[in-house]
Amino acid sequence: MKRYKYYDLLMATFVTVLLCSNLIGVHKVTYVNLPLYGEYVYGAGVLFFPISYLFGDILTEVYGYARSRKVIWAGFGALIFASFMSFVVVNLPPASVYPPESQKALEMIFGQTPRIVIASLLAFWAGEFVNSFVLAKMKLLTKGKFLWTRTIGSTIAGELTDTLIFYPIAFYGFWSNEQLISVMIGNYFIKVMWEVLATPFTYVVVNALKRAEQEDYFDYDTNFNPFILEVEK
C-alpha cells in the first residue's frame, strides 16, 4: 500500500473544519446589505461548512474516491460523537453552584433537537458522497483536464443533495414554506459561490499535492460502494 506524506493531515483538517462548522456559529443568524436587494439574512455557519467540500474535492482529485471515502466516514463518526457528547453534557443535571443562565446558554448553543441532528448527519453523508462520486466520474470523463469543471460541478451536485435533505427534514413544519424555500436557495447559492471563488486556491493546493505525493489518481477500477472501506493497492 502506497504511503502518502499529507493524506493523514488532510483527513485531520477535514474533520476539524467539519466539527467546527457544525458546532460554532450554527445558531448565529447574520446579514449583509446587498445593492438592489437590501438585507440578506443567512446562517453564519454557512460561511465555513463549504470548506469541507473544498477539502473533499482535493482529496478525491489527488488520492481518489476510495481514500476520500475513508475521510468521509471519519467525519461522519466525528459528527456522531460530537452530537452524542453535546446531548449528554447538556442534559446532565447542573450543580447548585452552576448559574441557571449558564445552563440556558449551554442549551441554546449545543442543544439540538433529534430532528436537526438526524438531518445534519444524513445531509452530510449523502452530500459528501455525491460530491466525491461526481468529481471522480468527471475526472475520467475529462481525462484529468479542466479541474475547475469538476470541482464546481461536483459541489453543485453535492451541496444540492445536502440542501434538499437537511432543510426539509430539520425545519419543515416549523418554518413557513416560503421561509424554508428562501433559506434553502439563499444558503445553496452562498455555498456554490464559495467554491467558485476558491477555485484558484484549489488549483494551487491540488498541483502542489500532486507533485509532493507523486500521485494523480484516476478511479478506473474503483468500487464506488459507499459502505465499504477497502482501498485499492
Domain of residue 179 covers 7-213
> What digits encode the pLDDT tens for the residues 154-178?
999 999 999 999 989 988 888 888 8
Q: Name the pTM for this structure.
A: 0.92
The pLDDT value recorded for residue 53 is: 92
Q: Which of 232, 212, 203 shows the shortest CA–CA distance to 61?
A: 203
Burial status of residue 34 (CB atoms within 10 A of its CB: 0-12, 13-18, 19 or more): exposed
The pLDDT value recorded for residue 233 is: 58
The pLDDT value recorded for residue 232 is: 67
Tell me which residues of the chain have a pLDDT lower than 70: 25-27, 232-233
- Provide the CATH number for the domain around residue 148: 1.10.1760
The pLDDT value recorded for residue 47 is: 81
Residue 232 resides in a domain:
no
The pLDDT value recorded for residue 108 is: 80
Residue 228 resides in a domain:
no
Residue 219 resides in a domain:
no
Element spanning 200, H or E:
helix 199-213
Residue 2 resides in a domain:
no
Decide if 134 contacts 65 (C-beta within 8 A).
no
Query: How many domains does one find in the chain?
Result: 1
Residue 208 resides in a domain:
yes
The pLDDT value recorded for residue 227 is: 95
| Cα angle value 187/49/17 (rounded, 5°) | 175
The pLDDT value recorded for residue 43 is: 73
